[in-house]
Amino acid sequence: MAAHPPELARARRRRDLARMKAKARRLWPDDPDAHRLADHLAFCPNRGCANPRHWEGHPFRDLRAFQAFQDEP
> Which pLDDT score is estimated for 59?
67
Which amino acid, one-letter code, is at 54? H
pTM score, whole prediction: 0.51
Mean pLDDT of the chain: 78
**Would residue 57 be called left, alpha or beta, if left means φ above 0 and alpha means ψ between -120 and 50 degrees?**
left
Examine the pLDDT at 15 and tell me if it is beyond 90. yes
**Residue 25, C-beta contacts closer than 8 angstroms, at least 6 positions apart:** 34, 35
- b/e code 3-15 from CB counts within 10 Å (16+ = b): eeeeeeeeeeeee
On the question of pLDDT at 1 being above 60, the answer is no
Domain boundaries, the chain: 6-71
